[in-house]
Amino acid sequence: MKKQHIWLSAALFSFMVIGAGCGDDSENGEAEGNGETAENGEEAEQEETDELVVYSARNETFVDQFLDKFEEDTGIEVQALHADDTAVNRIQEEANNVQADIFISNDVGAMEHLRLQDLLDGYEAENIDSIDEDFRAEDDSWVALSARTRVLMYNEDLVDEEDVPDSIEDLADPEYADQFAVTRGANGSMIGHVSALRQEWGDEQTVEWLADVSENAGIITQGHGDIREAVGTGEVEFGLVNNYYYHQQLEEPENNNVGVVYPDQGEDEMGAVLNAAGIAMINDGPNRASAEEFMDWALEEENQQEFSYESLEVPINPDIEPVDDAASIDEYETHDMPLSELGEVWDDTLDVIEESGMDLEVR
């Protein structure tokens, strides 16, 4: 069964919001969307269907494979909107006219940011205890399933490992000018990374670092796939990516002579910055029963593995082995900021990045 893909234009989205606002003024007192008469002026409850609407900020290929499996296992039809970094904004804009049931995110900070606005709904999914409390919301409205660590991937034909920076802070050093690539400031993983740096360094040092990195970078890309390609082909010597991009490049038939450095591993250093991808239940979604079934299904160990393996990320669940050649998250030092705290600073981090002068988008 093949998913339907939702591609809503701005005009269509405006029409939907306006139409929903007008539904309460129906002369016949009918509740919008289900044809039932509302009693005492109240809107009738929306009828449940065997459907699920998913908004995703993850890679479309990985998500489609995951959702295809859900459809096959459950018979529930999935409509998927692949909205990249705009998914959070869309969920916020639709707060009074909720369209989606599930959010699949690249970033814990984005999910917690939505939870703090009461846009997510808690649900104690089956097997939720397989995920440590540090990797799920306090009300279980979101849960992380796979980890990604910020690393420096380098081209072994161009540079030796000892000549790659061993600290993220070193990217601001003029010694590395024009040698590396980073993503635009509004990339979700960049926002999460900078949020962690704000907690570690404070805003003033973080702004200075961002300004210097923006000046030093040889390339500022749309996403990390562009970085791994630039490193693989030798357009730059190294790049700041999530660790699974390194494994993806190793699987390429060519331009795969790459290595990786996990930064800030020395004594008293902050450790590599860790983030995670996961799933969240949207508050007042139109298909609650299907959303609960999806959360239960996704927490089954077989499907936790599916979620992480297709993207070559590391499973959060310690009972699931990582992909070949991937380091488990307990094999290196990581930054000790609780991931749930990313949501408290997620929105402000965009302001900090913009203040530094780093472009939020590729220009």
Q: How far is CA 208 from the centre of its chain?
A: 26
Are 242 and 282 in a shared domain? no
Check: CB of residue 312 under 8 Å from CB of residue 248.
yes
Same domain, 185 and 80: no
- Is 362 inside any structural domain? no
**Nearest-angstrom CA–CA distance, 216 and 153:** 17
Structure confidence at residue 31 (pLDDT)? 35
User: Is there a single domain that holds both residue 250 and residue 159?
Assistant: yes
pLDDT reported for residue 234: 97
Torsion of CA 313, 314, 319, 325, to 10 degrees: 100
Residue 229, classed as helix, strand or coil, is helix
> What domain count does the chain have?
2
Within a 13 Å sphere around the CA of 158, how many CA atoms are in the beta-carbon half?
A: 20
Place of tokens 């539904």: 23
Same domain for 267 and 279, yes or no, is no
173: domain CATH number?
Answer: 3.40.190.10
Find the domain containing 156 and state its range.
148-274+339-356
Between the alpha carbon of residue 330 and those of residues 216, 265, 315, the distances in Å are: 32, 13, 11
What does 250-279 look like in DSSP terms, one character per residue?
HTSSSS--EEEE----STTS--B-EEEEEE
Q: Could you report how far apart the first and last alpha carbons of the chain are, in Å?
A: 39
324 in any annotated domain: no
Q: 162: left (phi > 0), else alpha (psi -120 to 50), else beta?
A: alpha
Q: 341 with 307: CB under 8 angstroms?
A: no
Is residue 129 domain-shared with residue 264, that is, in the same domain? no
| In a shared domain, residues 33 and 143 | yes
- Residue 199: the pLDDT is 87
Pair 119, 189 in one domain: no
Model confidence pLDDT, tens digit, residues 292-331: 999 999 999 999 999 988 788 889 998 888 877 777 777 8
In a domain, residue 113? The reply is: yes
Position 334 in a domain: no
Residues 6+ apart with CB under 8 A from 90: 13, 55, 81, 83, 100
User: CA-to-CA distance for 52 and 341, rounded, in angstroms?
Assistant: 29
Q: Which helix (H) or strand (E) holds 220?
A: strand 219-221
Q: How far apart are CA 342 and CA 88, in angstroms?
A: 14
130 shares its domain with 15: yes
pLDDT for the residue numbered 23: 39
Tokens 């802070």 correspond to: 169
Residue 135 lies in a domain: yes
> Would you say residue 184 lies in a domain?
yes
Tell me the pLDDT of the chain (363 aa) as tens digits.
444 444 433 333 333 333 434 334 333 333 333 434 344 444 434 455 689 999 999 889 889 999 999 999 999 999 999 988 789 999 999 999 999 999 999 888 889 999 999 999 999 999 999 999 989 999 999 999 998 899 999 999 999 999 999 999 999 999 999 999 999 998 888 988 998 899 899 999 999 999 999 999 999 999 999 999 999 999 999 999 999 899 999 999 999 999 999 999 998 899 999 889 999 999 999 999 999 999 999 999 999 999 988 788 889 998 888 877 777 777 888 888 777 777 677 778 989 999 999 988 885
Is residue 210 in a domain? Answer: yes
Please state, as a whole number, how many other Cβ atoms lie within 10 Å of the Cβ of residue 177. Answer: 12
Q: Which helix (H) or strand (E) holds 349?
A: helix 342-356
pTM for this predicted structure: 0.73
CA dihedral 86, 11, 18, 26 (to 10 degrees): -130
320, part of any domain: no
pLDDT at 32: 37
pLDDT at 311: 80
Based on the domain organization, do 177 and 311 belong to the same domain? Answer: no
Question: Same structural domain for residues 267 and 297?
Answer: no
Asked if residues 121 and 283 have their Cβ atoms less than 8 Å apart, the reply is: yes
In this structure, the chain runs to a length of 363
User: In angstroms, rounded to a whole number, what is the distance separating the alpha carbons of residues 14 and 229?
Assistant: 38
Residues 250 and 117 in one domain: no
Residues 301 and 346 in one domain: no
Residue 233 tokens read as 């082909």
pLDDT value, residue 47:
53
